[in-house]
Amino acid sequence: MVRIMDKKNNNSDEVILKVEDLCMFFGKRNYVKKAVNNVSFDIRKGEVFGLVGESGCGKTTTGRTIIRLYDATSGNVYFKGQRIVAGTGSYKNELRNIKKEKKKLNAEKPADYENELKKLDERTELLKKEIKSAVHDHKAANSSKLAKNIQMIYQDPVASLDPRMTVREIISEGLVIQGVKDKKLIQEKVYEILETVGLVREHADRYPHEFSGGQRQRIGIARSIIMQPEMIIADEPISALDVSIRAQVINLLNDLRNSMGLTVLFIAHDLSVVKYFSDRIGVMYFGNMVELATSDELFAHPLHPYTRSLLSAIPLPDPNAEKGRVRMHYDPLADHEYSEEEPEFREVGEGHFVRCTQKEFEQYKKDLESPAK
């Protein structure tokens, strides 16, 4: 039988990754797609942080922006206290607004014209310093060092492997880029990693097309862990695999997490898997983080209507219970009233955050305190 291992809560209180107001927008000024919009969360050393949501909600873009495959529009990402991602879009947007205010001020010439102009000039200088600092930190974050400490496992095991390279070349590529020249050492490390992920030494000289989907994903995992990273970003690593293979890959990731002390950002849309693998879960919808809590808390007390909708979509293994399962539909226009107040990310319970207005916040607090919950 294929098993799914229970997660182990061996994480510490040390924050290894901190994401602050991260934004990733695509398109021109006239048409901007807000793929990630003011997303904030942190990941503690040794934990698995699950990021879930429907296709197109921005979870993969979040992972790729963290690892700098995309240049963030605005916001910051800190890895072990060092700023590795620094977007300047919000600063530049504010500078444009200040320019408009100056133009309006010069046209109207109010009584306190000098004072208002001085304030705008001071704010302009401060923003320019922030931009300079952000650019400096972004460049100073050594890409090679970042690649060694944070690695990514991609969703598609076929597209992420070069068909012209052997497994040996694929797995050892990171070592070669880092400057390792000892061929014997590289060979031994490749063999060791292959056996660690459940493959054999004879696979080293084969090409990706000679393997099954599950084996290709194991090769992708081997490529990421040979660098001995501190953190792995797993971007839906099981969604392209057969159901019978998914548990094997999850078990492998869990074993590697415990044996190597890895921290994992686990991106997925299968909540039934995320529940057993993640310590905490963040739920994304339309580029926004709408709820964040521990795995047990989120499943026991889902508060945001979208989270409830996602949980209601999980199939039940009992055929009789499955027949009676009620599917909840999430309609943002009907479920929320944002005309008078914009929602904010608020802590409703200890470690349980929800994107809501003040009125919703009060209701969610009552829901948590209700015995029916």
The answer on 232 and 349 residing in a single domain is no
Q: Tell me, yes or no, whether 53 lies in a domain.
A: yes
In the beta sheet, which residues pair with residue 264? 48, 232
Domain identity same for 365 and 241: no
Three-point CA angle 227, 67, 157, nearest 5°: 65
β-sheet bridge partners, residue 26 = 33
How far, in Å, CA of 90 to CA of 74, rounded? 6
Q: How many domains does the chain have?
A: 2
Residue 4 scores a pLDDT above 80: no
| 235 located within any domain | yes
Residue, of 10 and 333, whose pLDDT is higher: 333
Whether residue 189 sits in one domain with residue 285: yes
Asked if residue 197 is part of any domain, the answer here is yes
Please give the pLDDT value at position 229: 93
Residues 192 and 283 in one domain: yes
Pair (166, 227) in one structural domain: yes
Q: What three-state secondary structure class fits 339?
A: coil
The per-residue pLDDT for 372 is: 53
Neighbours of 303 (CB within 10 A): 25
- Rounded CA separation 86/18 (Å): 12
Q: What is the mean pLDDT of residues 347-352?
A: 94
Residue type, 279: D
For the segment 210-231, the average pLDDT, to the nearest whole number, is 92
What pLDDT is attached to residue 139? 86
CATH of the domain at 47: 3.40.50.300
Same domain, 221 and 321: no
Q: Is residue 331 predicted with pLDDT exceeding 60?
A: yes
Q: Is residue 98 scored above 80 in pLDDT?
A: yes
- Length of the chain, please? 373
Average pLDDT over residues 189-207: 94
CA distance 107 to 343: 35
Q: pLDDT digit string (tens) for 110-124?
A: 888 889 899 999 999
pLDDT (0 to 100) of residue 50:
95
pLDDT value for 10: 54
More confident residue, 273 or 161: 161
Across 187-212, average pLDDT: 94
Confidence grade of residue 272 (pLDDT, cut at 50, 70, 90):
confident
Round to whole Å and give the CA distance between 21 and 338.
20
Token reading at 276: 């057993």
pLDDT tops 50 at residue 5: no
Does residue 247 surpass a pLDDT of 70? yes
Predicted confidence at residue 1, as pLDDT, reads 32
Are the CB atoms for 248 and 1 separated by under 8 Å?
Answer: no
Query: What are the E-state strand segments in the chain?
Result: 15-27, 32-44, 48-52, 74-79, 82-88, 150-153, 231-235, 263-268, 280-285, 288-294, 344-349, 352-356
Domain-terminating residue out of 282, 299, 316: 299
Rounded CA-CA distance 263/46 in Å is 4
Looking at 281, 299, 317, the residue that finishes a domain is 299
Same domain, 14 and 160: yes
pLDDT > 90? residue 159:
no
Predicted pLDDT at 106: 87
Q: How many CB atoms lie within 10 A of CB 359?
A: 12
Please identify, among 254, 271, 299, the residue that sits at the C-terminal boundary of a domain. Answer: 299
Cβ neighbors of 227 (< 8 A, separation 6 or more) are: 147, 148, 151, 174, 175, 178
Work out the mean pLDDT of the chain and round it to a whole number: 89
Instruction: For residues 169 and 315, state if they share a domain.
Output: no
In a domain, 293, yes or no: yes
What is residue 12's predicted lDDT score, i.e. its pLDDT? Answer: 66
pLDDT at residue number 44: 95
Query: Is 208 part of any domain?
Result: yes
Report whether 353 contacts 292 (CB < 8 A).
yes
Tokens of 3: 């098993």
Q: At 2, is the pLDDT very low, low, confident or very high (cuts 50, 70, 90)? A: very low
Whether 373 shows a pLDDT value over 60: the answer reads: no
- Determine the Cα–Cα distance for residues 249 and 112; give it in Å rounded to an integer: 66
State the average pLDDT over residues 63-76: 93
The residue type of 32 is: V
Domain assignment of residue 326, given as a range? 302-373
Confidence of residue 353 (pLDDT cuts 50, 70, 90): very high
Mean predicted confidence (pLDDT) in 21-26: 94
| Ranges of H-type helices in 226-304 | 243-260, 271-277, 295-300
Q: Are residues 347 and 233 in the same domain?
A: no
**How much is the pLDDT for 6?**
47
252 and 352 together in one domain: no
278 and 350 housed in the same domain: no
Let me know if residue 186 belongs to a domain: yes
Nearest one of 8, 41, 82 to 262, comparing CA atoms: 8
Calpha distance 237→214 (Å, rounded): 10
Q: What is the pTM of this model?
A: 0.89
Q: What are 159's two structure tokens?
A: 């597209």
Q: Could you tell me if residue 3 is inside a domain?
A: yes
Residues 363 and 306 in one domain: yes
